[in-house]
A = this chain, B = another copy of it.
């Protein structure tokens, strides 16, 4: 694996736009899979990868990597992102009260939900982020994502593909302890603002051993411990605030490894505050529209991490199938790892 081409310390904090442009020059995948491509790095995840991944099912133990979807979630309304509102159309109390009108003693319950697609455990689709008006593969953003949704790269285009080899990089456990009193580094928690570099990722891989090798078509899940902390201390600004996360400089690594997707246990995947004076999610701006990379956020990796730490096997069979909501730029997901 390639070391970071640039060091975070060398970033010009005053010039995110320049840094982004320079990075894009190195890592762009535009045109790599033809001008019609809508799947980006999911092209790396093919049948052969999936077939090989079957071997990773050792005991058959399964883990849901999803947080629950309910009103007790972390959202506070930023950009109209609320927690899911789940309401009932029919209930058991109604059934018992005898008001449902069904024959032969049948009773029923039904329900509805209203939620932002990014409210909890989710995938960012390729239409989620643009760079200077350009979406994945160089398309004009205003011809791709309108009020009618994403007419080209809607999440439904990857409905059948996101299943294969997953690899956990438990950076929180591998890197700690740090000296930050706010976090429990013995529990594998990185502090807010901790920028995970390619070196950190490689060190984690090395420390975890051979099952952690990362390569083409893999779905990498990075544990920072941020969710563990929220679980202990309360949500606070878990959704939208400071957090550990990937350094802007990992764009090279994300490109060179040819992974299919990456997910974290934080709301925003990359380190917050960002590594520039005035910036908002610059790594997103590189990897979604230019790499065509799928990013998962708010995944719950704690139970899986416990199991991996116990037996030292860090790869597994992972299915993280988005709901094929036509034209959606993201999707809630319940990723399931079997190991």
Interface residues of A (CB under 8 A from B): 16-17, 20, 46-55, 57-64, 66-72, 77, 79-97, 99, 102-118, 127-133, 135, 140-150, 156, 159-164, 276, 278-282, 284-285, 317, 319, 321-330, 332-336, 338
Find the residue from A82, A93, A279, A335 having the highest chain B CB count within 10 A.
A93
CB distance from A300 to the nearest CB of B (A): 10
For the residues of A in contact with B, the DSSP-based class is: mixed
Residue in B20, B112, B280 whose beta carbon sits within 8 Å of that of A115 in the complex? B112
Is A95 in contact with B324, judged by CB distance below 8 angstroms? no
Taken together, the copies of this chain in the complex come to 4
Is B324 in contact with A62, judged by CB distance below 8 angstroms? no
CB distance from A18 to the nearest CB of B (A): 9
Top 7 closest pairs, chain A to chain B, by CB: A92-B141, A51-B60, A50-B60, A92-B145, A107-B130, A47-B60, A54-B57
CB distance from A106 to the nearest CB of B (A): 5
Bound Cα distance from A326 to B123, whole angstroms:
20
A326 proximity list for chain B (CB < 8 A): 68-70, 72, 86
CB distance from A96 to the nearest CB of B (A): 4
Is A143 in contact with B111, judged by CB distance below 8 angstroms? no
Is B160 in contact with A62, judged by CB distance below 8 angstroms? yes
Known: A96-B97, A102-B280. 4 other contacts (CB 8 A): A54-B60, A95-B142, A107-B130, A110-B330
